[in-house]
Structure 1
């Protein structure tokens, strides 16, 4: 994977501890590298010990403080153990990045394997909830922290023939809105972050797999290829830089929002401040 640097980000997260689910490969590893370059301690979780080990070795070679913990998001005790090991290594977790996810089955929602369809919800939605339940009590107690839930435009717009993925990401976006409202009195922020189409992780897997003579999967493959040809992919550096910005806390007044790599955070913050000022004058 190409090394990712974040420009103005270096050391803005010095001393901060971040936990990244699905951190052994793809976007998770990309985000881990950017957060480490910004000075954060990094805790990686994932199911595959091989990719976790590779990611941990790579980060240590960059001078990062990192711990890798094998943990399956579908098992609540595994996430609690991961948080305990992270806390033992670095102290309390300051930022949770809920990145782990699966694509789910392709095809009409009434066809295909119902168990596979539900498994996507189990990982993408319930896994996010499990990670939050493991991390949030400490954040609430300390009255600081933030949760970054990695989502997709598929959760904002319909995506026929990828309904499990689309529905799961829509649910995570709504979960984030509710979490933000519930956490606001406790000084903790939550965001839905859409990195865009990045040539990593599930997107790259689909491209490298190529056509498999499955109508629905091949149809989605052609759409992804069209997006790439049209220049609509997001560079990993841009996605990572935006995530580091959110992790730093400088966008906390926007807690609860759905944000993308292309958003002008400074403009959104100014708009939010103006709305608050107008609301205050109205009172």
Structure 2
């Protein structure tokens, strides 16, 4: 088990699915965990599960789009558990399916705002405190559309690509001060979000490939991303800070390949060298 003794972790979107598994893995490694989301019942359930296993956790209900609320929530975490060592931005919204002219503009923008602004809001509070202590890790979850087109999922894809670039910028800004940022793609996991894609009329009409992927047996256990993030929190993959790691990765192979990935500038958003020559 990864050793996270003496650390404090914050997990957003921690009330269910991938976020709950991340929170449990952080606790099993020895971290004290703050579970954040809007739905009080769900985050209290996660905190309760951690308590049943002998861990320490608190549930903090917060709207991550509300800047002042995020500031207050993270201060409450520090007051209750201590300074934050690991921030995991797992929260996500994907409700706008279809061509942009068929999407409700408010729902489309809501996906972008929750995903991107929520990540910005937590990071802007946590990073300075981490820098003051000379250590810390921020993990931002990305996903479909990060590096490729996502037809009929443009809001989600745009937000995730932006989070990837945000992660790179953040890491380049903070790494000299001992704070590292990572992006993690958990892979296709069956969650409440994918259930909406599978069962809503808009999802069936515009994202039929999601059902096909599940039918083909592609369903990554949430424990894969959770175990990876626990290793990130422990420092195992610091050489890949600023880059994207994946839940489907074999972690031992990833560790062996770290130097080569960094040397090739892999796992990052980049314009090809050929394109750069034409600029």
TM-score w.r.t. length of structure 1:
0.87
Name the residue aligned to 1:227: 213
Is 1:60 the counterpart of 2:51 in the alignment?
yes
**Which consecutive residues of structure 2, in runs of 5 or more, have no partner in the other structure?**
265-279
Name the residue aligned to 2:189: 198
> Over residues 234-263 of structure 1, what are the superposed CA-to-partner deviations in whole Å (9 max), with x where a residue is unaligned?
122222211211121110111011110122
How many residue pairs end up in the alignment? Answer: 264
Are the counterparts in 1 of residues 22 and 223 from structure 2 also a CA contact under 8 Å?
no
TM-score w.r.t. length of structure 2:
0.88
Name the residue aligned to 2:229: 243
1:150 to 125, 129, 141: 141
> Over residues 194-241 of structure 1, what are the superposed CA-to-partner deviations in whole Å (9 max), with x where a residue is unaligned?
01011223124444xx253x3xx1145532221112222112222221
Tell me: CA distance 1:108–1:35, structure 2 relative to 1, closer, same or farther (3 Å): same
Give distance in 2, aligned partners of 1:43 and 1:200.
Answer: 21
Secondary structure at the counterpart of residue 102 of structure 1: coil
Are the counterparts in 1 of residues 136 and 179 from structure 2 also a CA contact under 8 Å?
yes
Are the counterparts in 1 of residues 240 and 262 from structure 2 also a CA contact under 8 Å?
no
Is 1:73 the counterpart of 2:64 in the alignment?
yes
> Over residues 110-169 of structure 1, what are the superposed CA-to-partner deviations in whole Å (9 max), with x where a residue is unaligned?
332212211111110011000001111110101100000011032111111110000000
Give distance in 2, aligned partners of 1:22 and 1:151.
Answer: 13
Name the residue aligned to 1:140: 131
Name the residue aligned to 1:261: 247
Tell me: CA distance 1:232–1:24, structure 2 relative to 1, closer, same or farther (3 Å): same
**Which consecutive residues of structure 1, in runs of 5 or more, have no partner in the other structure?**
1-7, 279-283
Give distance in 1, aligned partners of 2:20 and 2:152.
Answer: 28
Tell me: CA distance 1:62–1:72, structure 2 relative to 1, closer, same or farther (3 Å): same
Name the residue aligned to 1:86: 77
RMSD: 2.0
- Shift of residue 38 of structure 1? 1.2
1:176 to 153, 157, 167: 167
Name the residue aligned to 1:4: none
